[in-house]
Amino acid sequence: MTPTTETMVGIGGAAESTDMVLNIGPQHPSTHGVLRLKLVLDGERITHAEPVIGYMHRGAEKLFEARDYRQIIMLANRHDWLSAFSNELGVVLAVERMLGMEVPERAVWLRTLLAELNRVLNHLMFLGSYPLELGGITPIFYAFREREELQHVMEEVSGGRMHYMFNRVGGLKEDLPAGWTTRARGAVADVRSRMDRFDDLVLGNEIFRGRTRGVGRLTPQAVHAYGVSGPIGRGSGVDFDLRRDEPYLAYGELGDVLKVVTRQEGDCLARFECLLEQTHNALDLADACLDRLAELPPGPVNQRLPKVLKAPEGHTYAWTENPLGINGYYLVSKGEKTPYRLKLRSASYNNIQVLTELLPGTLVADMVAILGSMFFVVGDIDK
């Protein structure tokens, strides 16, 4: 007689402990774009989380090798589309270091000013979009109004709305339009005068505080282990900012204005508070740069370059404090007009890795709050 196997099927208490795999994304309102989160759930609690990236991979690092040193600025510009000016800055600093090139003082201060205006633009987007993800629609309207004020002056000086293409090896594309500094100062003052909307409307909202306080605690040990940086790392008490700790551009002369904002709690609320206070400080830094520019005599904003630009053989690493964290370029040259290798270390790529440690143990309902507080751009992950 053929042996048989009996299987008991029930729907008792055992069913409650069955793990379920849930995919968030790659197209989902909570993921800021084409990011996929593979979650393993035990009921409503996350037991395992795996960020799955690469859905919009554009091969930028490989394309760097087929573009000359003027053309790669366009590629560098686009991986974090909210921080275009800062992205450009890192790659031109690397090339200038290889060339041993000194940039005119006026260009140094202008770069610092525009980098801080770009920082405010980046932060305003997240200051508006994060409450939106938690159900508060009003802040996004205020955020876009303030962004438009600054977009106007950035567009006037560069000709670009999102992708400025204003940095050049040796300085900047061109000098400022007549009267631009006065309009920029007015825009900074207008934005500063209305920043209390975010203090009152968002931080003063008990629902927002209830959804973010104590949620998604990130330890300093995890920050160091995963290379997390920017407002997310500082929200966990890691007091590190390249503008102060390894000054570049004119930040070494702005130590009395620059404030490195930190919090100790490491939760979603702490990260948002860091972002908001850092925005206030970026506006102060922009004013300080405008004051210094008013004192400088007229002068060039770039260096004259040869028709074919070649970096000498060697390698260098240039890193900057981008709005979302540390952004680094490792440049290797064989003496040709194109890089032999240009490796990009983006802020969002490192910051998003820590979700594997941050999400397990939390509720599915808190996943949206945690994910939104990581302030990432998907292009900055996939490169």
Judge contact between 238 and 224, C-beta under 8 A. Answer: yes
Same domain, 29 and 83: no
DSSP H helices in 213-328: 220-226, 230-234, 242-245, 268-295
pLDDT band at 18 (very low <50, low <70, confident <90, very high): low
Q: Looking at the structure, do residues 31 and 73 belong to the same domain, yes or no? A: no
Kindly indicate the confidence band of residue 5, based on its pLDDT and cuts at 50, 70 and 90: low
Residues 44 and 163 in one domain: no
Q: What is the mean pLDDT of the chain?
A: 90
**25 occurs within a structural domain:** yes
The reply to whether 4 falls in a domain is no
Give the pLDDT band (50/70/90) at residue 249.
Answer: very high
Does residue 3 belong to any structural domain of this protein?
Answer: no
* Helix/strand/coil for 353: helix
Q: For the domain that residue 303 is a member of, what is the CATH number?
A: 1.10.645.10
Average of pLDDT values for 141-169?
93
Residues whose CB is less than 8 angstroms from the CB of residue 5 and which lie 6 or more positions away in sequence, other chains included: none
Q: Which of 9-13, 78-82, 231-235 has the lowest mean pLDDT?
A: 9-13
Question: Has residue 12 got a pLDDT over 50?
Answer: no
Burial 256-294 (b: 16+ CB within 10 A, else e): eebbebbbebbbbbbbbbbbbbbbbbbbbbbbbbbebbe
**46 and 169 housed in the same domain:** no
Note whether 69 and 41 are same-domain residues.
no
Instruction: Note the pLDDT of residue 35.
Output: 87
Query: Does 146 reside within a domain?
Result: yes
Q: What is the mean pLDDT of residues 301-309?
A: 92
**Does 34 have pLDDT greater than 90?**
no
Q: Under DSSP, is residue 114 helix (H, G, I), strand (E, B) or coil?
A: helix
Same domain, 94 and 39: no
Q: Is the peptide bond before 26 cis (omega within 30 degrees of 0)?
A: yes
41 with 124, same domain? no
175 and 35 within one domain: no
Question: Are both 141 and 44 inside the same structural domain?
Answer: no
Q: Is residue 325 part of a domain?
A: yes
What pLDDT score does 7 carry?
Answer: 47
Tokens in use for 313? 């053989």
Identify the pLDDT of residue 176: 92
147/161: higher pLDDT: 147
Residue 239 lies in a domain: yes
Look up the domain containing 129 and give its range: 60-381
Q: Are residues 308 and 209 in the same domain?
A: yes
| Domain contains 6 | no
Mean pLDDT on 58-65: 90
Q: Is the per-residue pLDDT at 239 higher than 50?
A: yes
The count of domains in the chain is: 2
CB 324 within 8 A of CB 122: yes
**How is residue 311 annotated by DSSP?**
P
pLDDT digits (tens, 9 = 90+) for 172-220: 999 999 999 999 999 999 999 999 888 888 988 899 999 999 999 999 9
Same domain, 78 and 220: yes
Find residue 52's DSSP bridge partners. Answer: 36
**24 and 127 housed in the same domain:** no
Q: Is 14 within the bounds of a domain?
A: no
pLDDT digits (tens, 9 = 90+) for 264-290: 999 999 999 999 999 999 999 999 999
Say if residue 15's pLDDT is above 60. Answer: no
Better-predicted residue by pLDDT, 6 or 38: 38
